[in-house]
Amino acid sequence: MSTRANAAAPAEASIAEAAEIAVEAYLYAYPLVLMDITRRLATNVESPAGTRCPMNQFAHLRVFPDATFTDVVRPNADTLYSSLWFDVSKEPLVISVPDSGGRYYLLPMLDLWTDVFASPGKRTTGTSPQKFAIVGPTWLGKLPPGVELLRAPTVIGWILGRTQTNGKSDYHAVHKFQAELTATPLSAFGESYNPPKGTVDPAVSPVAPVEQVSKMDAPAFFTRFCELTKNNPPHANDYPILGRMKRIGIVPGQSFDLARTTPAVKTATAEAGPKAMAKLKSYFPDRVVNSWVIPMNPIGTYGTDYLRRANIAYFGLGANCVEDAIYPSMLVQFDGRPFDSGKKYVLHFKKEEIPPARAFWSLTLYNDRQLFTDNPINRYAIGDRDPLSFNADRSLDLYIQRDSPSEQSNWLPSPKKGAFSLTMRLYWPMPAALDGTWKPPEIHELR
């Protein structure tokens, strides 16, 4: 006798249960919906331009942002990005990576739920030439010799690569690496291949994806979610939440019709978005050490921590695994006051406090708009690839102030006015940076 055939239908949720389950469902669904809207906007072009490109094609950032850049907050002046949105529903996509000559790079691959399922690069696979085939969750076939299979949990996903770039003088070498980073459908592999032009859909909104999701009502949000899951299924360990969502009529892989649900479900789903977003925005699981906020796991891979997954999607879509990079940030001083650009500060690292990173580390300053600030030497970040001046005992002082100190090599300029904040970046952090052994030092005001 089949147990499945005789399984009882899930009990209808009470009003209180429906409200609780609807919030859980919203948080569970949020990354998938946000990723899809981000993809639609990022691929709505005929050819690669900036960080936008048609599906299954790479787009490469060619220069660092500067003080005029306002597209995203807290930009990066350490790596040049390479972005590709893939769709392997019809056939695998072969990614060819050139020899980086020992240069640090990473190519994290995210499924549509925002989980990193693979992260080729110097830390994991080395820097020699490599070929990977991204295949869908149910694909069965044979790959050419020398091509490694990477099975994506969803047919749609995102590669957001970073390549170490040591200042503007290093652009040429990085551009050469980017130019040899290619994506080819399996059916065209080994042949001369010219990617087709993309199609521009005028109906795709240019509004920031986070804002688009926030404006979606319950029918639009949950309908979009269920349609996406028809080709991008839940993870294998999601069964408990799937059972709960079924009690309010939300079943991944099946179309959702809110009109056919109970009044309790209609009310619960209508109120779920604001409640879930309030919970998401107030969630703070990170570690604070000497006023530095250090993001903690899970990041990049989330298991069943759906609140954390939604939290990271909202605040930093495309986040790396912590094994690839961590970003301690200091938004205010130890007493809660903002940093004042009219004052002088010093960040003193004892020898044993130098950020423990196998690839590289940096310190970046942002103005009160969370953007780079105009300064006389056009320096937005400083770190171990700069010609720093160390003290006799191998300690290090970084000076954060408006005017140049005597040690200009160690100067990170602050804004002409207003408050500012700081972010440290550690690429390929050592175990001490991940297990809490390393503690970044306090910043002190110079009198």
The neighbouring-strand residues paired with 34 are: none
Cβ-proximal residues to 55 (8 Å cutoff; 6+ apart), any chain: 43, 85, 86, 87, 198
Q: Does residue 268 lie within any of the structural domains?
A: yes
- In this structure, how many other beta carbons lie within 10 angstroms of the beta carbon of residue 191? 7
CA neighbor of 368 nearest in space, from 397, 342, 398, 404? 342
Residue 4 maps to a domain: no
Does 221 map to a domain?
A: yes
d(CA 360, CA 21): 44
pLDDT at res. 6: 39
Q: In sequence order, what are the residues at sequence separation of 6 or more whose Cβ sits closer than 8 angstroms to the Cβ of residue 203? A: none
Residues 142 and 92 in one domain: yes
CATH number at residue 89: 2.60.40.1610
Do 137 and 155 contact (CB within 8 A), yes or no? yes
Residue 197 CA, distance from chain mean position:
27
Q: Which two tokens stand for residue 264?
A: 């309790």
Phi-psi region of 174 (alpha: psi -120 to 50; beta: other; left: phi over 0): alpha
Q: Which of 123, 218, 217 is nearest to 427 (CA)?
A: 123
Among 136, 157, 188, the domain-final residue is 188
Tell me how far apart the alpha carbons of residues 55 and 196 are, in angstroms, rounded to a whole number: 10
Residues 299 and 415 in one domain: yes
194 is a domain residue: no
Is 119 in the same domain as 221? Answer: no
Pair 216, 293 in one domain: no
> Alpha-carbon distance 57 to 83, whole Å?
8
Say yes or no: 260 and 175 in one domain.
Answer: no
Given a contact cutoff of 8 angstroms between Cβ atoms, the answer to whether 41 and 71 are in contact is no
3-state secondary structure 86-99: EECCCCCEEEEECC
Residue 3 lies inside a defined structural domain of this protein:
no
pLDDT of residue 407: 86
Quote the pLDDT of residue 375. Answer: 96
Q: Are residues 72 and 217 in the same domain?
A: no
- Residue whose entry in the numeric block shows the structure tokens 């005017």: 403
Asked if residue 346 is part of any domain, the answer here is yes
What pLDDT does 11 receive? Answer: 65
The whole-number pLDDT of residue 77 equals: 94
Q: Are residues 431 and 291 in the same domain?
A: yes
Q: What is the DSSP string of 96-157?
A: EE---TT--EE--EEETTS-EEE--BTTTT-SS-EEEEEE-TT----PPTT-EEEE-SSSEE
If asked whether residues 373 and 260 sit together in one domain, one would say no
pLDDT, position 8? 45
**Greatest extent of the chain over all pairs of C-alpha atoms, in Å:** 84
Domain closes at, from 229, 262, 282? 282
126, two tokens: 């080395």
Task: Give the HSE-up count for residue 367: Cα atoms under 13 Å, Cβ half-sphere.
Answer: 18
SS3 assignment, position 240? helix
Bridge partner list, 365: 422
Q: Is 344 helix (H, G, I), strand (E, B) or coil?
A: strand
The answer to whether position 25 is within a domain reads yes
Instruction: Please provide residue 226's backbone torsions phi and psi, each rounded to the nearest 5 degrees.
Output: -65, -35
Please indicate, yes or no, if residue 199 is contained in any of the structural domains: no
Residues 270 and 298 in one domain: no
**pLDDT tens, 232-263?**
999 999 999 999 999 999 999 999 999 889 99
Q: 188, 222, 246: which is the final residue of a domain?
A: 188
Cα(397)–Cα(346) distance, integer angstroms: 6
Q: What is the pLDDT of residue 3?
A: 37
Q: Is 211 helix (H, G, I), strand (E, B) or coil?
A: helix
Low-confidence ranges of the chain (pLDDT < 50): 1-8
Co-location of 294 and 415 in the same domain: yes
Are 98 and 150 in the same domain? yes
**One domain for residues 156 and 255:** no
Range 254-264 burial, b when 16+ CB lie within 10 A, else e: eebebeebeeb
- What pLDDT was estimated at residue 5? 38
Residue whose entry in the numeric block shows the structure tokens 């094994």: 323
Number of domains in the chain: 3
Query: CA 300 to CA 282: how far, in whole Å?
Result: 20
Distances (CA, A) of 262 to 13, 15, 286: 10, 10, 39
- From 320, 218, 199, select the one nearest 266 (Cα to Cα): 218
- The domain in which residue 167 lies consists of 45-188
